[in-house]
Chains A and B, each alone.
Chain A
């Protein structure tokens, strides 16, 4: 991760270069290029089916682009597996919550520390000496996250019993447990009410400011996107149609057309 650490805030952390992705004959992404700078909040928006989630999946190595390159923290790559992305400091949350429903909030967040655990399986099974010391360290880190996200009251509650808004927050907690350099959020506020959205926005800003984490997010709520993001990429039918600050994007005729519809 030293590569990512060497990059100063404001410099390019990740760049997507001319990436195309197709599933058989369906082109999900066509020749898209953009960059994400360190410590910024970068939004990817677009109408349904514009290729936003595919883009995130490409970034964290779940899909492999047919063409183009992605460089993260100075290293360029064509193919990478999701766990490699995770080791390099890319964490994500999912559009439809993907937690371990039967496990508690705490255990779910602890699961996010898996990659940071040095002791092997048998040591952890013993839960003695260095393995115990390590567990306490990790537990402390997770407790900080619990405090940060204000979910103390559900620490020991099985996640499946929680309301949706809280599950989303736990998922964010698990992603934070990886101490990511780049955090990918796929519709963190989908299905939330106004109050939950405001809380989540606050947490995203706090994560960005407090931990200095770079954030790329997909979101449909334009009010939220305009408030939160430093820069926005707009996709439509797999192509990039605009890229800039919220003010620039808002004024862009192509974006207005894409969202409001235009007579062809």
Chain B
């Protein structure tokens, strides 16, 4: 299973840490901006600290198999604590630092945590407040002294003191050093390496146990895949408890020997990104989206010349940038023009964003709009998509350089096998596959198949190029009466990529055809109205405006065209649509607090509209109660027009 060729014995992170300290002692391992200045620790220094801390942890009674909670933001001390626990063959359990006390207590209790390493007084308070629920917890170690001056020290120590204490002991007693070495050497690939708790969107969170060998093998595969080496650098700004941070930063850094930079504070991440200039970068689509929005807003305020130059060269990039990035042949004139654009626009822009040195960037987690994705790629940023899960120790699929698209997530990652069940559920087996859910054999059995595949719960299919496309959660995927697949989120996402469409709700499960309700985006459609001299007095009036309907109809038509191009989706083209007279709102219970549409609730609340979508009528009356921000209630009545769409012939039939 291990792909660390030639050195099969390097199957745990502490062994690799020691290797880095021996092979590249002077190379930077970790950085943090402190008091405004970047501080750097080399691999040799870092490993020395990890050993000292491990010795001190052992003194607190931590041994093989014990659980060590890690609660805090991305700080060197937190990463050292993870490595120190692993050095003792104990199991680190990172916990989301913003979890409320009760959630945190659940995880610490469930994981049988023996000591907790936390960032500051806030976390100490949380843990002390629920000490009675945690009889196994014997000690709390903290990084920041502030506010803790008056606390009882019996079960509380600063991490700096532990490091100093361990250092002194190791210097005095060679035997102590040998004990640490022995513990590292005794580490085995099937040791539990870490327990990562899932965020628990469905019920209580589960502890996903990873093996050391599996983790190292998975990280080695992707390090080779993306050609990462010890000259690379990342900014570790993702939550510690999330598989993304542990994998992309911690695991890959130790395997490849590159440097992990910790932001000064969570608020400064954007500035720190610019100063560090990482070569490998990950962000969810909404980060890329908000960065682009910020750039565009700032360009609106720029002078006429700059604005013109910006838009001209962005257009050049749009036409040629991706082709140049993918190494396709491009006319000389275009190449020169792009070069000039790099000098005048793309370079400075990438510098502002901190993207100058990026060799590989990934995005994942949700669908990313084609325009947004292309924008970054056209600037020469090698942005790719991956599809992953905590249970896989991240990668299930990832895109190869030069074979990148926005609507798919790539073929199986190295050494990963993927299969689709008859219902379209994606199942995988991977080197980093989790061992079990901690203390939950039932759930483990539910998730793992007998032949060792993991059920992802996501529905997807492979397209012509062999790239996987994720459609929706498997349980949300329905069928039209004809038996054809109906994937509401897939259709909704396609619609929402149009800036004019803010929300979309698709219906069609067990119906004859698919229909959608849409929300226009007031900012975007409002700006369009201003440019086109369309006057309106209210959201409702704008939403019902014939010209807005015309414009949206074009968008829906375009979505139908793209659905028709996909054999599995062609039947679920949108037959009828309407534009809602009010914005869907979390205050009215129509959206969740994280802005996801609550399809079932909306179907009930707007039952007359749903009926009208399917009974052939051209308009429908609706009266809905709304809640104002101050809690008062009112009612909005409206007559909503319904538009019939022409459905495209499926391209497969046409071909």
Residues of A within 8 A of B (CB): 139-140, 143-144, 146-148, 150, 152-153, 155, 202, 205-206, 209-210
18 contacts between A and B (CB under 8 A): A139-B36, A140-B35, A143-B37, A144-B35, A146-B35, A147-B35, A152-B33, A152-B264, A152-B265, A153-B264, A153-B267, A153-B268, A202-B147, A206-B146, A206-B147, A209-B147, A209-B150, A210-B146
Q: How far is the CA of A162 from the CA of B400 in the complex (A)?
A: 44
12 additional A-B pairs beyond A146-B35, A152-B33, beta carbons within 8 Å, are A143-B35, A144-B35, A147-B34, A148-B146, A150-B265, A152-B264, A152-B265, A153-B265, A153-B267, A202-B147, A209-B150, A210-B149
Closest to A140 in B: B35
Closest chain-B Cβ to A138's Cβ sits at a distance in Å of 13
| Cβ contact within 8 Å between A152 and B268 | yes
List the B side residues contacting A148 at CB < 8 Å. Answer: 146
Q: How far is the CA of A25 from the CA of B128 in the complex (A)?
A: 58
Q: Does B271 contact A (CB under 8 A)?
A: yes
List the B side residues contacting A140 at CB < 8 Å. Answer: 35
Which of B36, B149, B150, B268 has the largest count of A CB atoms less than 10 A from its CB? B36
Closest CB pairs A-B (n = 6): A153-B267, A143-B35, A153-B268, A152-B264, A143-B36, A152-B265
Per-residue 0/1 for B254-274: is the Cβ within 8 Å of any A Cβ (1 yes, 0 no)?
A: 000000000011011001000
Closest chain-A Cβ to B377's Cβ sits at a distance in Å of 29
List the A side residues contacting B147 at CB < 8 Å. Answer: 202, 205-206, 209-210
- By DSSP majority rule, is chain B's interface helix, strand, loop, or mixed? loop
List the A side residues contacting B146 at CB < 8 Å. Answer: 148, 206, 210
Q: How far is the CA of A202 from the CA of B264 in the complex (A)?
A: 21
| Cβ contact within 8 Å between B149 and A152 | no
List the B side residues contacting A153 at CB < 8 Å. Answer: 264-265, 267-268, 271
Closest to A155 in B: B36
Per-residue 0/1 for B424-459: is the Cβ within 8 Å of any A Cβ (1 yes, 0 no)?
A: 000000000000000000000000000000000000
List the A side residues contacting B264 at CB < 8 Å. Answer: 152-153
List the A side residues contacting B34 at CB < 8 Å. Answer: 147
Closest chain-B Cβ to A230's Cβ sits at a distance in Å of 14
Per-residue 0/1 for B274-294: is the Cβ within 8 Å of any A Cβ (1 yes, 0 no)?
A: 000000000000000000000
The B23-43 residues at the A interface (CB cut-off 8 A) are 33-37
Closest chain-A Cβ to B487's Cβ sits at a distance in Å of 41
Q: How far is the CA of A226 from the CA of B267 in the complex (A)?
A: 32
Closest to B34 in A: A147
Closest chain-A Cβ to B568's Cβ sits at a distance in Å of 47
List the A side residues contacting B35 at CB < 8 Å. Answer: 140, 143-144, 146-147
Q: How far is the CA of A139 from the CA of B35 in the complex (A)?
A: 9
| Cβ contact within 8 Å between B149 and A209 | yes
Closest chain-B Cβ to A243's Cβ sits at a distance in Å of 26
Q: How far is the CA of A152 from the CA of B35 in the complex (A)?
A: 8
Q: How far is the CA of A210 from the CA of B145 in the complex (A)?
A: 10
List the B side residues contacting A139 at CB < 8 Å. Answer: 36
Closest to B144 in A: A147
Closest to A144 in B: B35
Closest chain-B Cβ to A10's Cβ sits at a distance in Å of 16
List the B side residues contacting A143 at CB < 8 Å. Answer: 35-37
Closest chain-A Cβ to B272's Cβ sits at a distance in Å of 9
Instruction: Name the contact of B267 in the complex, choosing from A144, A147, A152, A205 (C-beta under 8 A).
Output: A152
Closest chain-A Cβ to B219's Cβ sits at a distance in Å of 31
Q: How far is the CA of A144 from the CA of B271 in the complex (A)?
A: 19
Q: How far is the CA of A210 from the CA of B271 in the complex (A)?
A: 29
Q: How far is the CA of A150 from the CA of B119 in the complex (A)?
A: 14
Q: How far is the CA of A144 from the CA of B146 in the complex (A)?
A: 12
List the A side residues contacting B150 at CB < 8 Å. Answer: 209
Q: How far is the CA of A140 from the CA of B149 in the complex (A)?
A: 23
Closest to A209 in B: B149
Q: How far is the CA of A202 from the CA of B36 in the complex (A)?
A: 23
Closest chain-A Cβ to B64's Cβ sits at a distance in Å of 38
The B306-359 residues at the A interface (CB cut-off 8 A) are none
Q: How far is the CA of A72 from the CA of B33 in the complex (A)?
A: 40
Q: How far is the CA of A205 from the CA of B34 in the complex (A)?
A: 23
Q: How far is the CA of A49 from the CA of B147 in the complex (A)?
A: 35
Q: How far is the CA of A205 from the CA of B149 in the complex (A)?
A: 11
Closest to B263 in A: A152
Q: How far is the CA of A150 from the CA of B263 in the complex (A)?
A: 13
Q: How far is the CA of A52 from the CA of B248 in the complex (A)?
A: 56
List the B side residues contacting A150 at CB < 8 Å. Answer: 265
Closest chain-B Cβ to A173's Cβ sits at a distance in Å of 14
Q: How far is the CA of A148 from the CA of B36 in the complex (A)?
A: 12
Q: How far is the CA of A155 from the CA of B150 in the complex (A)?
A: 30
Q: How far is the CA of A206 from the CA of B147 in the complex (A)?
A: 6
List the B side residues contacting A210 at CB < 8 Å. Answer: 146-147, 149
Which of B34, B146, B268 has the largest count of A CB atoms less than 10 A from its CB? B146
Closest chain-B Cβ to A163's Cβ sits at a distance in Å of 13
Q: How far is the CA of A186 from the CA of B292 in the complex (A)?
A: 42
Q: How far is the CA of A150 from the CA of B268 in the complex (A)?
A: 10
| Cβ contact within 8 Å between B265 and A146 | no
Closest chain-A Cβ to B239's Cβ sits at a distance in Å of 18
Closest chain-B Cβ to A228's Cβ sits at a distance in Å of 14
Closest chain-A Cβ to B32's Cβ sits at a distance in Å of 12
Closest chain-A Cβ to B549's Cβ sits at a distance in Å of 41
Q: How far is the CA of A202 from the CA of B148 in the complex (A)?
A: 12
Q: How far is the CA of A209 from the CA of B37 in the complex (A)?
A: 26
List the A side residues contacting B271 at CB < 8 Å. Answer: 153
